[in-house]
Copies of this chain bind each other. A is one copy, B any other.
Amino acid sequence: MESFSFYNPTRVLFGKGQIGKIGKELKKADIKSCLMIAGGGSIRKNGVYDQVCESLKANKIEWIESWGVQPNPTVEKVREMIALAKESSVDAILAVGGGSVIDSGKATAAGIFLNDIWNAYVDKEKIIRALPIFTILTISGTGSEMNGNSVLTLSSEKKKWSISSKLLYPKVSIIDPSIQATLSFQQTVNGAIDAISHILEYIFMNETAVVTRNIDAGLIKTIVKMTDRLQQDANDYTARANLAWSATLALNGISGVGLQGGDWACHSIEHALSAIDPKIAHGEGLGVIFPAWIEYVSEREPNRFSWWVKEVSEEDSVARALRKCRETLKRWGSATNLRELGIRESQLPEIRDLLLTYGPIGEIVRFRAEDIEALLMLAY
Protein backbone atom coordinates (compact mmCIF):
# COMPACT_ATOMS: atom_id res chain seq x y z
CA MET A 1 0.00 0.00 0.00
CA GLU A 2 1.58 3.21 -1.12
CA SER A 3 1.87 6.20 1.18
CA PHE A 4 -0.81 8.86 1.06
CA SER A 5 -2.20 11.90 2.75
CA PHE A 6 -5.91 12.16 3.35
CA TYR A 7 -7.75 15.37 4.09
CA ASN A 8 -11.36 16.23 3.35
CA PRO A 9 -12.84 19.08 5.37
CA THR A 10 -16.26 19.30 3.64
CA ARG A 11 -19.20 19.07 6.00
CA VAL A 12 -22.04 17.04 4.46
CA LEU A 13 -25.65 17.40 5.57
CA PHE A 14 -27.52 14.47 4.11
CA GLY A 15 -31.19 13.54 4.05
CA LYS A 16 -34.74 14.72 3.55
CA GLY A 17 -35.42 18.27 4.66
CA GLN A 18 -31.77 19.34 4.93
CA ILE A 19 -31.97 22.02 2.20
CA GLY A 20 -33.75 24.37 4.57
CA LYS A 21 -30.59 24.48 6.68
CA ILE A 22 -28.54 26.32 4.05
CA GLY A 23 -29.29 29.82 5.33
CA LYS A 24 -28.27 28.89 8.86
CA GLU A 25 -25.03 27.30 7.60
CA LEU A 26 -24.12 30.47 5.68
CA LYS A 27 -24.92 32.59 8.72
CA LYS A 28 -22.80 30.36 11.00
CA ALA A 29 -19.90 30.92 8.58
CA ASP A 30 -20.45 34.67 8.84
CA ILE A 31 -21.56 35.04 5.20
CA LYS A 32 -23.63 38.16 4.53
CA SER A 33 -24.14 37.80 0.76
CA CYS A 34 -23.60 35.14 -1.87
CA LEU A 35 -23.78 34.48 -5.58
CA MET A 36 -26.25 31.68 -6.25
CA ILE A 37 -25.27 29.69 -9.33
CA ALA A 38 -27.80 27.46 -11.07
CA GLY A 39 -28.49 25.57 -14.27
CA GLY A 40 -31.36 25.62 -16.72
CA GLY A 41 -34.22 25.92 -14.27
CA SER A 42 -35.09 22.42 -13.00
CA ILE A 43 -34.67 23.67 -9.43
CA ARG A 44 -37.67 25.94 -10.01
CA LYS A 45 -39.76 22.88 -10.81
CA ASN A 46 -38.66 20.51 -8.06
CA GLY A 47 -39.07 23.03 -5.24
CA VAL A 48 -35.38 23.34 -4.42
CA TYR A 49 -35.15 27.00 -5.45
CA ASP A 50 -38.06 27.96 -3.20
CA GLN A 51 -36.58 26.09 -0.24
CA VAL A 52 -33.22 27.81 -0.72
CA CYS A 53 -34.70 31.31 -1.09
CA GLU A 54 -36.87 30.87 1.98
CA SER A 55 -33.90 29.72 4.05
CA LEU A 56 -31.67 32.57 2.85
CA LYS A 57 -34.36 35.13 3.63
CA ALA A 58 -35.06 33.68 7.07
CA ASN A 59 -31.36 34.05 7.88
CA LYS A 60 -31.02 37.51 6.32
CA ILE A 61 -28.51 36.40 3.70
CA GLU A 62 -28.49 38.63 0.61
CA TRP A 63 -27.94 37.03 -2.76
CA ILE A 64 -27.74 37.56 -6.46
CA GLU A 65 -28.40 34.84 -9.02
CA SER A 66 -26.67 33.58 -12.11
CA TRP A 67 -28.56 31.03 -14.16
CA GLY A 68 -27.89 29.01 -17.25
CA VAL A 69 -24.96 26.69 -16.52
CA GLN A 70 -25.16 23.89 -19.10
CA PRO A 71 -23.91 20.28 -18.98
CA ASN A 72 -20.22 20.28 -19.99
CA PRO A 73 -19.96 23.80 -18.55
CA THR A 74 -17.84 26.37 -20.31
CA VAL A 75 -15.20 28.79 -19.15
CA GLU A 76 -16.97 31.45 -21.21
CA LYS A 77 -20.02 31.18 -18.94
CA VAL A 78 -17.83 31.13 -15.83
CA ARG A 79 -16.15 34.39 -16.88
CA GLU A 80 -19.59 36.05 -16.84
CA MET A 81 -20.21 34.74 -13.35
CA ILE A 82 -16.82 35.92 -12.13
CA ALA A 83 -17.57 39.42 -13.42
CA LEU A 84 -20.89 39.37 -11.58
CA ALA A 85 -19.31 38.11 -8.35
CA LYS A 86 -16.63 40.82 -8.49
CA GLU A 87 -19.05 43.60 -9.26
CA SER A 88 -21.40 42.66 -6.43
CA SER A 89 -18.67 41.87 -3.87
CA VAL A 90 -20.30 38.68 -2.55
CA ASP A 91 -18.73 36.78 0.37
CA ALA A 92 -19.43 33.27 -0.91
CA ILE A 93 -20.58 31.07 -3.77
CA LEU A 94 -23.72 28.98 -3.41
CA ALA A 95 -23.96 26.37 -6.19
CA VAL A 96 -27.40 24.79 -6.49
CA GLY A 97 -27.36 21.99 -9.04
CA GLY A 98 -25.37 19.03 -10.30
CA GLY A 99 -21.67 18.63 -11.06
CA SER A 100 -21.66 21.22 -13.85
CA VAL A 101 -23.11 23.89 -11.60
CA ILE A 102 -20.81 23.02 -8.70
CA ASP A 103 -17.72 22.93 -10.95
CA SER A 104 -18.67 26.34 -12.35
CA GLY A 105 -19.18 27.58 -8.79
CA LYS A 106 -15.71 26.43 -7.78
CA ALA A 107 -14.17 28.10 -10.83
CA THR A 108 -15.99 31.33 -9.98
CA ALA A 109 -14.85 31.15 -6.34
CA ALA A 110 -11.21 30.91 -7.41
CA GLY A 111 -11.48 32.99 -10.57
CA ILE A 112 -12.18 36.31 -8.90
CA PHE A 113 -8.62 36.21 -7.52
CA LEU A 114 -6.97 35.40 -10.88
CA ASN A 115 -6.26 37.29 -14.09
CA ASP A 116 -8.23 34.67 -15.97
CA ILE A 117 -9.67 31.43 -14.57
CA TRP A 118 -8.73 29.36 -17.63
CA ASN A 119 -5.09 30.03 -16.78
CA ALA A 120 -5.52 27.76 -13.75
CA TYR A 121 -6.74 24.92 -16.02
CA VAL A 122 -3.69 25.22 -18.27
CA ASP A 123 -1.21 25.64 -15.40
CA LYS A 124 -0.40 29.27 -16.15
CA GLU A 125 -1.77 30.61 -12.87
CA LYS A 126 -1.94 28.96 -9.47
CA ILE A 127 -5.08 29.03 -7.33
CA ILE A 128 -4.09 31.04 -4.29
CA ARG A 129 -7.41 31.98 -2.78
CA ALA A 130 -11.07 31.19 -3.24
CA LEU A 131 -14.36 32.41 -1.83
CA PRO A 132 -15.99 29.83 0.46
CA ILE A 133 -18.16 27.43 -1.54
CA PHE A 134 -21.49 26.00 -0.40
CA THR A 135 -23.42 23.49 -2.49
CA ILE A 136 -26.87 21.99 -2.74
CA LEU A 137 -26.65 18.88 -4.87
CA THR A 138 -29.49 18.02 -7.23
CA ILE A 139 -27.99 15.08 -9.12
CA SER A 140 -25.45 12.55 -7.84
CA GLY A 141 -22.56 11.45 -10.01
CA THR A 142 -19.55 13.72 -10.25
CA GLY A 143 -18.75 13.74 -6.55
CA SER A 144 -17.93 17.44 -6.87
CA GLU A 145 -19.93 18.13 -3.71
CA MET A 146 -17.13 16.64 -1.58
CA ASN A 147 -13.86 17.21 -3.42
CA GLY A 148 -11.66 20.02 -4.72
CA ASN A 149 -12.04 19.21 -8.43
CA SER A 150 -13.57 21.24 -11.24
CA VAL A 151 -13.85 20.42 -14.95
CA LEU A 152 -14.52 23.14 -17.54
CA THR A 153 -14.58 23.31 -21.32
CA LEU A 154 -13.02 26.08 -23.41
CA SER A 155 -15.53 25.82 -26.27
CA SER A 156 -13.47 27.81 -28.76
CA GLU A 157 -10.62 25.28 -28.56
CA LYS A 158 -12.71 22.19 -27.69
CA LYS A 159 -10.61 21.67 -24.57
CA LYS A 160 -12.25 20.05 -21.53
CA TRP A 161 -9.75 20.26 -18.71
CA SER A 162 -9.71 19.91 -14.94
CA ILE A 163 -8.19 21.45 -11.84
CA SER A 164 -7.89 20.20 -8.29
CA SER A 165 -7.18 22.35 -5.26
CA LYS A 166 -7.55 22.04 -1.51
CA LEU A 167 -9.04 25.54 -1.63
CA LEU A 168 -12.00 24.29 -3.67
CA TYR A 169 -13.48 21.82 -1.18
CA PRO A 170 -16.99 23.03 -0.41
CA LYS A 171 -17.37 24.21 3.19
CA VAL A 172 -20.81 22.65 3.39
CA SER A 173 -22.67 20.42 0.94
CA ILE A 174 -26.30 19.54 1.34
CA ILE A 175 -27.49 16.32 -0.25
CA ASP A 176 -31.22 15.65 -0.13
CA PRO A 177 -31.67 12.46 -2.18
CA SER A 178 -35.46 12.81 -2.22
CA ILE A 179 -35.30 15.71 -4.69
CA GLN A 180 -33.59 13.41 -7.21
CA ALA A 181 -36.86 11.52 -7.62
CA THR A 182 -37.78 14.07 -10.32
CA LEU A 183 -34.75 13.16 -12.49
CA SER A 184 -35.29 11.10 -15.62
CA PHE A 185 -33.95 7.57 -15.40
CA GLN A 186 -31.39 8.48 -18.05
CA GLN A 187 -30.03 11.31 -15.88
CA THR A 188 -29.88 8.93 -12.93
CA VAL A 189 -27.99 6.39 -15.02
CA ASN A 190 -25.52 8.98 -16.31
CA GLY A 191 -24.69 9.88 -12.72
CA ALA A 192 -24.38 6.23 -11.73
CA ILE A 193 -21.99 5.44 -14.60
CA ASP A 194 -19.92 8.51 -13.79
CA ALA A 195 -19.59 7.39 -10.16
CA ILE A 196 -18.67 3.82 -11.13
CA SER A 197 -16.10 5.18 -13.58
CA HIS A 198 -14.41 7.20 -10.84
CA ILE A 199 -13.87 3.99 -8.92
CA LEU A 200 -12.72 2.09 -12.02
CA GLU A 201 -10.06 4.76 -12.62
CA TYR A 202 -8.48 3.65 -9.31
CA ILE A 203 -8.95 -0.06 -8.77
CA PHE A 204 -6.67 -1.42 -11.49
CA MET A 205 -3.64 0.53 -10.23
CA ASN A 206 -2.29 -2.00 -7.73
CA GLU A 207 -3.21 -4.99 -5.57
CA THR A 208 -1.74 -3.82 -2.29
CA ALA A 209 -4.48 -1.38 -1.30
CA VAL A 210 -6.65 -4.31 -0.23
CA VAL A 211 -8.97 -2.36 2.03
CA THR A 212 -9.60 0.40 -0.52
CA ARG A 213 -10.40 -2.13 -3.22
CA ASN A 214 -12.77 -3.98 -0.89
CA ILE A 215 -14.55 -0.70 -0.17
CA ASP A 216 -14.63 0.04 -3.89
CA ALA A 217 -16.18 -3.33 -4.68
CA GLY A 218 -18.89 -2.54 -2.13
CA LEU A 219 -19.48 0.87 -3.73
CA ILE A 220 -19.79 -0.45 -7.28
CA LYS A 221 -22.15 -3.25 -6.27
CA THR A 222 -24.29 -0.80 -4.32
CA ILE A 223 -24.47 1.63 -7.25
CA VAL A 224 -25.52 -1.08 -9.72
CA LYS A 225 -28.13 -2.52 -7.38
CA MET A 226 -29.61 0.85 -6.46
CA THR A 227 -29.76 1.95 -10.10
CA ASP A 228 -31.65 -1.24 -10.92
CA ARG A 229 -34.09 -0.47 -8.12
CA LEU A 230 -34.56 3.09 -9.39
CA GLN A 231 -35.36 1.75 -12.86
CA GLN A 232 -38.30 -0.02 -11.21
CA ASP A 233 -39.31 2.87 -8.95
CA ALA A 234 -37.94 6.40 -9.26
CA ASN A 235 -39.35 7.20 -5.81
CA ASP A 236 -37.45 4.46 -3.95
CA TYR A 237 -35.85 6.70 -1.31
CA THR A 238 -33.53 4.04 0.11
CA ALA A 239 -32.13 3.44 -3.37
CA ARG A 240 -31.75 7.20 -4.06
CA ALA A 241 -29.99 7.74 -0.75
CA ASN A 242 -27.59 4.83 -1.14
CA LEU A 243 -26.80 5.79 -4.72
CA ALA A 244 -26.20 9.40 -3.68
CA TRP A 245 -23.83 8.62 -0.81
CA SER A 246 -22.00 6.00 -2.92
CA ALA A 247 -21.43 8.60 -5.65
CA THR A 248 -20.06 11.05 -3.09
CA LEU A 249 -17.68 8.42 -1.67
CA ALA A 250 -16.62 7.41 -5.19
CA LEU A 251 -14.61 10.63 -5.54
CA ASN A 252 -14.09 12.14 -2.10
CA GLY A 253 -10.69 10.51 -1.58
CA ILE A 254 -11.79 7.29 0.20
CA SER A 255 -12.08 5.24 -3.00
CA GLY A 256 -8.56 6.08 -4.15
CA VAL A 257 -6.50 5.69 -0.96
CA GLY A 258 -3.22 3.91 -1.75
CA LEU A 259 -4.05 3.61 -5.46
CA GLN A 260 -1.45 6.03 -6.82
CA GLY A 261 -3.87 8.74 -7.91
CA GLY A 262 -5.64 6.54 -10.46
CA ASP A 263 -5.26 6.07 -14.19
CA TRP A 264 -7.72 8.60 -15.70
CA ALA A 265 -7.20 7.64 -19.37
CA CYS A 266 -10.91 6.99 -19.79
CA HIS A 267 -11.84 10.38 -18.36
CA SER A 268 -9.42 12.10 -20.74
CA ILE A 269 -10.86 10.22 -23.68
CA GLU A 270 -14.43 10.98 -22.67
CA HIS A 271 -13.53 14.64 -22.20
CA ALA A 272 -12.41 14.71 -25.83
CA LEU A 273 -15.70 13.13 -26.92
CA SER A 274 -17.87 15.63 -25.14
CA ALA A 275 -15.61 18.54 -26.14
CA ILE A 276 -16.25 17.52 -29.77
CA ASP A 277 -19.94 16.96 -29.17
CA PRO A 278 -21.23 18.75 -26.05
CA LYS A 279 -24.54 16.89 -26.36
CA ILE A 280 -22.80 13.73 -25.15
CA ALA A 281 -23.48 13.23 -21.45
CA HIS A 282 -20.26 12.59 -19.53
CA GLY A 283 -21.60 9.47 -17.84
CA GLU A 284 -22.97 7.93 -21.02
CA GLY A 285 -19.65 8.60 -22.79
CA LEU A 286 -17.77 6.87 -19.99
CA GLY A 287 -20.08 3.88 -20.29
CA VAL A 288 -18.85 3.46 -23.85
CA ILE A 289 -15.17 4.17 -23.22
CA PHE A 290 -14.51 2.16 -20.07
CA PRO A 291 -15.41 -1.32 -21.36
CA ALA A 292 -13.35 -0.63 -24.49
CA TRP A 293 -10.40 0.46 -22.34
CA ILE A 294 -10.65 -2.69 -20.20
CA GLU A 295 -10.85 -4.81 -23.36
CA TYR A 296 -7.78 -3.09 -24.83
CA VAL A 297 -5.60 -3.00 -21.71
CA SER A 298 -6.53 -6.51 -20.51
CA GLU A 299 -5.10 -7.97 -23.72
CA ARG A 300 -1.74 -6.57 -22.59
CA GLU A 301 -2.09 -7.13 -18.85
CA PRO A 302 -4.73 -9.80 -18.14
CA ASN A 303 -3.66 -10.41 -14.52
CA ARG A 304 -4.36 -6.83 -13.59
CA PHE A 305 -8.08 -7.45 -14.10
CA SER A 306 -8.53 -10.77 -12.31
CA TRP A 307 -9.53 -9.25 -8.96
CA TRP A 308 -12.18 -7.09 -10.66
CA VAL A 309 -13.47 -10.05 -12.69
CA LYS A 310 -13.93 -12.18 -9.58
CA GLU A 311 -14.78 -9.77 -6.76
CA VAL A 312 -16.65 -6.99 -8.53
CA SER A 313 -18.18 -8.66 -11.58
CA GLU A 314 -18.49 -12.09 -9.97
CA GLU A 315 -17.52 -13.70 -13.28
CA ASP A 316 -14.65 -15.95 -14.37
CA SER A 317 -13.15 -14.12 -17.33
CA VAL A 318 -12.62 -10.57 -18.56
CA ALA A 319 -14.79 -11.32 -21.59
CA ARG A 320 -17.70 -12.47 -19.43
CA ALA A 321 -17.27 -9.52 -17.05
CA LEU A 322 -17.34 -7.12 -20.00
CA ARG A 323 -20.43 -8.80 -21.42
CA LYS A 324 -22.11 -8.31 -18.04
CA CYS A 325 -21.09 -4.59 -18.06
CA ARG A 326 -22.56 -4.02 -21.50
CA GLU A 327 -25.72 -5.95 -20.66
CA THR A 328 -26.16 -3.70 -17.63
CA LEU A 329 -25.72 -0.59 -19.80
CA LYS A 330 -28.27 -1.92 -22.31
CA ARG A 331 -30.73 -2.76 -19.53
CA TRP A 332 -30.41 0.86 -18.38
CA GLY A 333 -30.91 2.17 -21.95
CA SER A 334 -27.41 3.60 -22.10
CA ALA A 335 -25.12 3.61 -25.15
CA THR A 336 -22.61 0.77 -25.52
CA ASN A 337 -20.72 2.14 -28.54
CA LEU A 338 -19.70 5.42 -30.14
CA ARG A 339 -22.29 5.08 -32.92
CA GLU A 340 -25.08 5.10 -30.36
CA LEU A 341 -23.56 8.31 -28.97
CA GLY A 342 -23.95 9.86 -32.43
CA ILE A 343 -20.25 9.80 -33.29
CA ARG A 344 -19.45 9.14 -36.97
CA GLU A 345 -16.45 7.11 -38.03
CA SER A 346 -15.15 10.17 -39.88
CA GLN A 347 -14.88 12.00 -36.54
CA LEU A 348 -12.48 9.49 -34.99
CA PRO A 349 -9.30 11.14 -36.37
CA GLU A 350 -10.48 14.48 -34.96
CA ILE A 351 -11.00 12.89 -31.53
CA ARG A 352 -7.55 11.28 -31.73
CA ASP A 353 -5.87 14.54 -32.72
CA LEU A 354 -7.63 16.48 -29.98
CA LEU A 355 -6.57 13.88 -27.42
CA LEU A 356 -2.97 14.14 -28.51
CA THR A 357 -3.02 17.81 -27.49
CA TYR A 358 -4.08 16.81 -23.93
CA GLY A 359 -0.63 15.68 -22.80
CA PRO A 360 0.09 12.21 -21.33
CA ILE A 361 -2.97 9.94 -21.28
CA GLY A 362 -3.19 7.06 -18.81
CA GLU A 363 -0.85 5.48 -16.30
CA ILE A 364 -1.29 1.72 -16.74
CA VAL A 365 -0.93 2.05 -20.49
CA ARG A 366 0.33 5.41 -21.73
CA PHE A 367 -1.86 5.97 -24.81
CA ARG A 368 -0.03 6.92 -27.99
CA ALA A 369 -1.77 7.75 -31.27
CA GLU A 370 -2.04 4.09 -32.32
CA ASP A 371 -3.44 3.05 -28.93
CA ILE A 372 -6.07 5.77 -29.16
CA GLU A 373 -7.03 4.66 -32.67
CA ALA A 374 -7.30 1.04 -31.61
CA LEU A 375 -9.37 1.91 -28.55
CA LEU A 376 -11.74 4.15 -30.52
CA MET A 377 -12.26 1.35 -33.04
CA LEU A 378 -13.05 -1.07 -30.20
CA ALA A 379 -15.52 1.48 -28.84
CA TYR A 380 -17.02 2.19 -32.26
Residues of A bordering B, CB below 8 Å = 1-18, 177, 208-212, 214-215, 217-219, 221-222, 225-226, 237-238, 241-242, 245-246, 249, 254, 257-258
Contact = CB atoms under 8 A, between A and B. Distances in A.
A1 B211 contact: no
A4 B14 contact: yes
Contacts of A2: 15
A8 B9 CA distance: 6
Contacts of A11: 5-7
B3 A14 contact: yes
A257 B15 CA distance: 11
A11 B258 CA distance: 15
B221 A214 contact: yes
B7 A245 contact: no
A349 to B, nearest CB: 42
A245 B1 contact: yes
Contacts of A17: 3
Given A8-B8, A12-B6, A258-B241, A214 B222 contact: yes
Contacts of A245: 1, 211-212, 257-258
A3 B245 CA distance: 11
Contacts of A7: 9-12
Contacts of A5: 11-14
A9 B222 CA distance: 26
A207 to B, nearest CB: 9
A209 B244 CA distance: 12
Nearest to A206: B238
Of A177, A209, A242, the most chain B CB neighbours within 10 A belong to: A242
B254 A209 contact: no
Of A6, A17, A238, the most chain B CB neighbours within 10 A belong to: A6
Contact of A211 (B10, B211, B219): B219
Contacts of A254: 249, 254
Given A1-B242, A3-B17, A5-B12, 20 more contacts: A1-B15, A1-B177, A3-B18, A5-B11, A5-B13, A5-B14, A6-B14, A7-B12, A14-B257, A208-B238, A208-B241, A211-B219, A212-B245, A214-B218, A214-B221, A214-B222, A215-B218, A218-B218, A245-B258, A254-B254
A64 to B, nearest CB: 28
Nearest to A219: B211
Given A218-B214, A218-B217, A1 B249 contact: no
